[in-house]
Chain A
Amino acid sequence: MKIRGLRNLAKASKLGMLTGMRVTFVTMLRTWAFNLSGGKVGLRATVNYPVVKEEPVPRARGVIALDQEACTVCMLCARSCPDWCIYIEGHKELKPPTRPGGRARARATLDRFDIDYALCMYCGICVEVCPFDALFWTPEYEYSEYDMGPMMHDMDRLQDWMKTVPAGLGAQS
């Protein structure tokens, strides 16, 4: 049997060790080439994060965004949350009638919709349970804080994240 290369030698001699040594060495050279050439040759699994931003896949579960218009303050999300990290308060407002002579309608309006991301475990049950498509997963991930307190993000911040919901994933506004 002709034996060419370390891989076949390792296979022929049943020395899996050599295969492992080859893999790490080749990976090292590939990463090195990638670093030296600035990405033209070679391969590297990671990016230089704060300098180069990583692009997550569209369906990545980064953070939960809120569409305030769609929300009806039904509290289903807050009730289904396993660790009770959603805080909702609301009141009813009388909307003027849509037709002259019609009846004024009551509409539930959000006063407060906070998610405590220091507590949230990203299970996504709130997104699943929302009957009015007000909650969305977005791939946004840069919202860390230096303290626990500011991890409680309010409804304006959650509304802002609606912009980062990728197109075609069901966001209305």
Chain B
Amino acid sequence: MTLGLVFWLDLGIKLVVVAAVVPLIGMVIGYGEMKLSAHMQSRVGPYFAGGRYGWAQLIADGVKFIQKEDIVPAEADRPVFKWAPALVFMGTMSLLVIIPLHPSTNGIVRDLDVGIFYALAISSVSTIGVLMAGWSSANKYSMIGGLRAAGQLIAYELPLVLATVGVVIQAGTMSMQGIVQAQVAQGWPFLLTQFIGFAIFMIAALAELTRLPFDMPIAESELVMGYVTEYSGFRFLFFFLAEFTNMFSMSAIAATLFLGGYAFWGLDPSTLLSPIILFAKVGVLLFLMIWIRWTLPRLREDQLQTLAWKWLIPISIVNIIVTAVLKVVV
């Protein structure tokens, strides 16, 4: 085989794997959220679909969404309206490319030298999709939601980036594999030194995902459903799938940067156990996100901006300076 064919075959297989895994991740997280939220509210949650524990609930929901009519409002900007969910989903899918599951070369879709930089850059693409959705819906609620989302995502992109800088300084590399290797080499995860960075990263990640307590863009009591108000059927499902997949990838990035990724104390990271360890760490972070979502009420819009600009960004800059000074001194 020629080199070109190998490249395309490799790319094709990885694409198929990602395309199969993403909806699965979305469904598992969606089911987990349903069950956990139900239990936190003293309810049972889904328990009919699939016979036991309602395990097939999300499959049934998916089938339902596909059957629904795909409505485009008469006044909507049709192509923009139709492409917005795809763009949001694309940004989400691209994040999965740089998550390392295993130290071998096949344990990651593509180990980029600028891995974490790529992740933070590509996650901004979703912002454009959200803005497109809000603008093209020809609906005041959608537009306010879209603009709120834009303001929020821009505000929280900064602490998100700045929180990772501390880790990058300590690891001396931006490659995701390199960051995990640095933590394996020193024997402890960056959480111990970068716990401020970790806290800021998680808060900013929640805001980036527009999940409670930062769900002002889709605030139901004020904006109906924000930028997804006019969407129905499969396009609506895309937004939801994007949110759940984004939760996964954000948690995976946080686990890789701060919790040592696929490595664990006393375990050889080159065994097949490493992806399971990563998934366990991601699971803990996902539980934290769901737990926070079903406990805390929504912030006010000005409180949200205050938190980002007056607290998170200054704290993360101080964190960077201290990390850099200690890196040079120690």
**A residues in contact (CB < 8 Å) with B:** 17, 20-21, 23-25, 27-28, 30-32, 35, 43-46, 48
B42 touches A24 (CB 8 A): no
Is there a chain A Cβ closer than 8 Å to B311's Cβ? no
How far in angstroms is the closest Cβ of chain A from B45? 9
A27 contacts which chain B residues (CB < 8 A)? Answer: 39-42
Q: Chain B binding site: helix, strand, loop or mixed by DSSP?
A: loop
B295 contacts which chain A residues (CB < 8 A)? Answer: 17, 20-21, 23-24
Closest to B53 in A: A35
Q: Chain A binding site: helix, strand, loop or mixed by DSSP?
A: helix
* Top 3 A-B pairs, shortest CB-CB distance: A45-B42, A28-B39, A31-B39
Closest to A48 in B: B44
A32 contacts which chain B residues (CB < 8 A)? Answer: 39
How far in angstroms is the closest Cβ of chain B from A25? 7
Kindly list 10 other residue pairs between chains A and B, CB separation below 8 angstroms, not including A21-B291, A24-B40: A17-B295, A24-B295, A28-B36, A31-B39, A31-B43, A35-B39, A35-B44, A43-B42, A46-B44, A48-B44
B291 contacts which chain A residues (CB < 8 A)? Answer: 21, 24-25
A46 touches B296 (CB 8 A): no
How far in angstroms is the closest Cβ of chain B from A152? 30
Is there a chain A Cβ closer than 8 Å to B21's Cβ? no
A48 touches B47 (CB 8 A): yes
B44 contacts which chain A residues (CB < 8 A)? Answer: 31, 35, 44, 46, 48
Residues of B31-63 at the interface with A, using a CB-CB cut-off of 8 Å, are: 36, 38-44, 47
How far in angstroms is the closest Cβ of chain B from A135? 35
Cα distance, A28 to B38, chains bound together (Å): 8
Is there a chain A Cβ closer than 8 Å to B9's Cβ? no
A45 touches B43 (CB 8 A): yes
Most interface-central of B41, B44, B291 (chain A CB within 10 A): B44
B292 contacts which chain A residues (CB < 8 A)? Answer: 21
Is there a chain A Cβ closer than 8 Å to B240's Cβ? no
Q: What would be 21 A-B contacts, judged by CB atoms less than 8 Å apart?
A: A17-B295, A20-B295, A20-B296, A21-B291, A21-B295, A23-B295, A24-B40, A24-B291, A27-B40, A28-B36, A28-B39, A28-B40, A30-B42, A31-B38, A31-B44, A35-B39, A35-B44, A44-B42, A45-B41, A46-B42, A48-B47
A45 contacts which chain B residues (CB < 8 A)? Answer: 41-43
How far in angstroms is the closest Cβ of chain A from B316? 20
A28 contacts which chain B residues (CB < 8 A)? Answer: 36, 39-40
Closest to B293 in A: A24
B39 contacts which chain A residues (CB < 8 A)? Answer: 27-28, 31-32, 35
How far in angstroms is the closest Cβ of chain B from A44? 5
Cα distance, A21 to B213, chains bound together (Å): 13
B42 touches A17 (CB 8 A): no
Is there a chain A Cβ closer than 8 Å to B236's Cβ? no
Is there a chain A Cβ closer than 8 Å to B294's Cβ? yes
How far in angstroms is the closest Cβ of chain B from A15? 12
Cα distance, A48 to B36, chains bound together (Å): 17
Cβ 8 A contact of B43, one of A23, A25, A46: A46
How far in angstroms is the closest Cβ of chain A from B270? 36
Closest to A20 in B: B295
